[in-house]
Amino acid sequence: MDKSPQVLLELVERLSNLMRAEFRRVSSDEQLQPVHVQALTYLARANRYSNTPQAMAEYLGLTKGTVSQSLLLLDRRGLIERYQDDLDRRVVRLRLSQAGDAFIAEAQPQLAWQHATRNISPNRIRNAVSALRETLATFQEDNEGRAFGQCHGCQHFERLSTRAYRCGLMGDRLSGPETKRICWLYVQKGTAVEEDEDD
Amino acid sequence: MDKSPQVLLELVERLSNLMRAEFRRVSSDEQLQPVHVQALTYLARANRYSNTPQAMAEYLGLTKGTVSQSLLLLDRRGLIERYQDDLDRRVVRLRLSQAGDAFIAEAQPQLAWQHATRNISPNRIRNAVSALRETLATFQEDNEGRAFGQCHGCQHFERLSTRAYRCGLMGDRLSGPETKRICWLYVQKGTAVEEDEDD
DNA sequence: CCGATTTGGTATTGACACGATACTAAACCG
DNA sequence: CGGTTTAGTATCGTGTCAATACCAAATCGG
């Protein structure tokens, strides 16, 4: 039996543990926990469909109750803003406040990671990304978990013209930058098997 | 600027979060926390140099005090055994108890992961492993953190004959299986750049 | 050889993550 | 328009986690 998957898991967990420690370090000034940094990072990358407590809970693998508490804290600290959705008034929408934006910009939580990957060729990184991405997709299928992803590669993504896009599921028009954010309604487009490219 | 490293980090964290949730699921019968599963898994793979609270704390990215608490709990539950080192009586050595062994064997915490990676070719996994391994090594250098690894690839590793090994640093002879475990004294042997292999 | 320092580990305390449960209010559905 | 579902909050108990203080064994420096 091949034990490589096992080893891969070990690496993923260890790296994640180290980043968690790193998050703790950079956020100790603000009295924040690692999970708060993750939450802020998520919000910095979420689009209009995924900027809700529900989606965040799914993304972080936590319950909605737990996430709700963390959001209360972040709100008290003035790092995020919460506002009601116009159409569905049960829904709470989230965004980074100016202070939250500033925190992410200054603390640079991923700096250590950027450094750690500096010697690895972009190609090897892309290969690793593609393998992990596929792992994640399968994982989510297995657990009936919702998928997250960027418009590029999503079934619902439609290109109206060179600079105009649309989400076929929601019917909304999307700005260029918004198609780069993390969406909750992501559905993998017909899956051709990707194989690693050479360097 | 290339954003691939960023994406890689996102994937690592998300997968790790999902596995954490998975750990919580499989260990909720035993009233254990995800970190306890990680600790037990670590012990199942640690060798004679790394089966101490200190090493575990380093590996998990936690402080020794925190780890000490978790170990107390695991001891109370009868999942691990703690005993004194003969030479240095400050040192506590750890090992899985029979119950701990059984738990790891039954709960199969990595099962979900095995499933999630089933469709990925061994070669792509190896490539991903190699990239992440290198990331980890650089990360540890940057933070003056100690490295972890298996004898194969360690500077101190000496092969006495076809089946006899020795750790040059500690001077101990090692059994074959022990060279496959996680060691704390690991030092990367002269680093030739590995490049991805084709499939 | 013996005081000073270092090292491995534990005890205690306080903040808070986290799940479980119970709840509210809005939306949906027949 | 009553029953159900859905998004989120409130509350509570367990236990992680860092910080601090502490102890004992080892090591170092004269």
A123-149 average pLDDT score: 87
Q: Report the pLDDT value the prediction gives residue A199, as an integer from 0 to 100.
A: 55
Residue B63's identity, in one-letter code, is: T
Which among B9, B110, B130 has CB closest to A9? B110
Of A20, A112, A119, the CB nearest to B134: A119
- Residue A165 is predicted with a pLDDT of 93
| Residue among A6, A15, A129 whose CB faces B135 most closely | A15
Q: What's the whole-number average pLDDT of chain A?
A: 88
Beta bridge partners of B46: B182
Kindly state the average pLDDT of the residues B2-11. 87
pLDDT (average), residues A116-145: 89
Q: Please give the Cα distance from A140 to A136 (Å, whole number).
A: 6
Query: Which pLDDT value is given to residue A52?
Result: 94
Residues 6+ apart with CB under 8 A from A115: B138, B139, B142
Q: Are A18 and B138 in contact, with CB atoms under 8 Å apart?
A: no
| Statement: residue B115 has pLDDT above 80 | yes
Angle between helices A64-76 and A34-45 (to 10 degrees): 90
Name the residue with higher pLDDT: A195 or A92: A92
CA gap B183, B74 in Å, rounded: 22
Please tell me the pTM assigned to this model: 0.89
- What is the average per-residue pLDDT within A48-55? 93
Q: What is the DSSP string of B80-143?
A: EEEEE-SS-TT-EEEEE-HHHHHHHHHH-TTHHHHHHTTTS-HHHHHHHHHHHHHHHHHHHHHT
Q: Does B130 touch chain A (CB under 8 A)?
A: yes
Per-residue pLDDT band for A197 (boundaries 50, 70, 90) equals low
pLDDT given at position B137 = 87
Contact A139 B112 (CB under 8 A): yes
pLDDT of residue B153: 86
pLDDT at residue A124 is higher than 70:
yes
Taking residue B139's Cβ as centre, other Cβ atoms within 10 Å add up to: 21
- Report phi then psi at A37, rounded to 5: -65, -40
CB within 8 Å: B136 and A116: yes
Nearest to A23 by CA among B54, B22, B17, B138: B17
> Nearest-CA distance from B15 to chain A in Å?
6
How many percent of chain A have pLDDT more than 90?
57
Give the C-alpha separation, A120 to A27, whole Å. 27
Question: What 8-state DSSP symbol labels residue A160?
Answer: -
What residues contact A49, with CB distance under 8 A and at least 6 apart?
A: A55, A167, A170, A183, A184, A185
Half-sphere exposure of A5 (CA within 13 A, CB side): 17
Q: Is B160 on the interface with A (CB under 8 A)?
A: no
> pLDDT at position B191, please?
52
The pLDDT, as a whole number, for residue B60 is 92
- Over residues A1-10, the mean pLDDT reads 84
CB of A90 lies under 7 Å from some atom of strand D: yes
Query: Would you place residue B163 in the very low, low, confident or very high pLDDT band (cuts 50, 70, 90)?
Result: confident
Quote the pLDDT of residue B190: 66
State mean pLDDT over B157-181: 90
CA distance A30 to A106: 12
Q: For residue B132, is pLDDT > 60?
A: yes
Gap from A194 CA to chain B (nearest CA, Å): 10
Q: Which nucleotide is nearest to B34 (CA to C1')?
A: D16
Could you check: is the Cβ of residue B62 within 7 Å of any atom of nucleic acid strand D? yes
> Is a pLDDT exceeding 70 seen at residue A177?
yes
CA of A20 to C1' of C11 (A): 26
Residue B198's pLDDT is 56
> Residue A195: is its pLDDT beyond 60?
no
Contact B12 A133 (CB under 8 A): no
A145 band by pLDDT with thresholds 50, 70 and 90: low
pLDDT band at B197 (very low <50, low <70, confident <90, very high): low
> A122 at the B interface (CB within 8 A)?
yes
CB pairs under 8 A between A and B: 189
